Amino acid sequence: MSSDQVYLTLLEIFILVTVAQALKISGSRVRIPPIIMELITGLILGPFALGEFLNSLLNLNIFTINSYLLLFSQFSVILLIFAAGLEHGFRSLRSSGALSVLAATFGAILPFLGVFFYMLNYVSFNTAILMGAASAATSLAAVASIISGEKLENERYIKITMSAAAIDDVVAFIILSVSLAIIGGAQSTAFGLVKIIATVVISWLIIFFASVFIIPRLVSMVSGSLVVDLSLLVLFALVTIMISLGFSPVIAAFIAGVAIAESRKAEIIRGMVSAMIGIFGSIFFITIGAETDVFSFLSFQVLFQGVIITLIAVGLKFLGIFPFAYFYNKDTKKAIASSLGMIPRGEMGLVISSIAFSSGIFDQMDLAEIVLMSLLTTVIGAISFESSVKGLLRTEN
């Protein structure tokens, strides 16, 4: 690839980021989640839509999917997952409580199994298991603006949502690890599957607790001027180690974030990561949109399967969380609000679909179905959660 393409890719990235930012500012006025605007930017300006036309018009190969763009996209997703780990920290995971842990566990496992067994009738085992995994994790980004806008952070029914969301990420990463290990292991016997699951879970927990014990002490030892550099070194060293052990890099990024959050200098690192995400954070979601053929949404198969997957993902997520939210809140309306806040997918679902697409497990149709599911669950979750919260506020006032 010529040096010209490097600069064309940089131009492409900053055009896409600027357009996405403009759309996010417009969307924020009507509380459209930023992730939707980032995906739409990629879908519209990607090579399957306006991108190809603009390339011809300008006689420049600007809007393309190339190795440079994919490199920035991978860096973006590592930063996003690292930031999620930093935000949670081990203390928030540890203090979540039994009901939050159960809500998160069943809220992730039920949609995973539901989508997996449904899609197994239509696609290969490998595709079905990763489509199930992509349906498991919650994204609070879609409802975060509602929570902050209505100043609900200290409400009891919001606390279980926040705690369960933290544990939900851990459960989703374990599901992803097990799914990838099963795909790589090619085991067909029940004993073989149990062995793979046990090996992955035990390895995951050993690495997790070892990282939480060692990394904060290491980061706390260095001077403030070195802490940012060391944290990035730790991040990518752990990514490299876990890749060599057969784990996904996003799992390593999450563990590194959780571990570094326990150091005394975590606030400095959070500031650095926040600044970097302000520049690079949207690139991953824009790239996912650009990689998706926008015309695949005209396919009856994509629309039908995307809607069915969405219904399964919404229904089973709610079913998995509601009983535990009810025991926690002792109030049906508050339990419903807690459960609705967990419906949006987003980041993790798109991360898993990206892994599956880049490895050849997903085709364009599969990718489009998961993108559609992520968009629909985000919209449904945000609207229903806001409606439920406003109903509660009217009742209380």
Confirm whether 352 is domain-assigned: yes
pLDDT higher than threshold 80 for residue 20: yes
How far is it, in rounded angstroms, from Cα 177 to Cα 162? 23
Q: What is the pLDDT of residues 197-247, one digit of tens each?
A: 788 788 878 888 888 888 888 888 887 778 888 889 989 998 898 888 777
Residue predicted with more confidence, 250 or 56: 56
CATH number at residue 351: 1.20.1530.20
Residue 210 is part of which domain span?
Answer: 3-137+155-396
Confirm whether 261 is domain-assigned: yes
What pLDDT score was predicted for residue 148? 67
Tokens of 254: 């999450």
Q: What is the pLDDT of residues 305-361, one digit of tens each?
A: 999 999 999 999 999 999 999 998 888 998 998 899 889 887 778 888 988 998 899
Tokens of 349: 């679902």
Confirm whether 145 is domain-assigned: no
Confirm whether 297 is domain-assigned: yes
Confirm whether 150 is domain-assigned: no
Q: Which residue has the tokens 């968009």?
A: 375
pLDDT higher than threshold 70 for residue 95: no
Confirm whether 143 is domain-assigned: no
Long-range pairs of 382-386 with CB within 8 A, sequence gap ≥ 24: 382/31, 382/33, 382/142, 382/143, 382/146, 382/344, 384/340, 384/343, 385/143, 385/146, 385/337, 385/340, 385/341, 385/343, 386/31, 386/143, 386/146
Confirm whether 265 is domain-assigned: yes
Q: Average pLDDT, stretch 23-38?
A: 85
Number of domains in the chain: 1
Confirm whether 210 is domain-assigned: yes
Q: Average pLDDT, stretch 256-281?
A: 86
Q: Average pLDDT, stretch 143-155?
A: 70
Residue predicted with more confidence, 93 or 74: 74
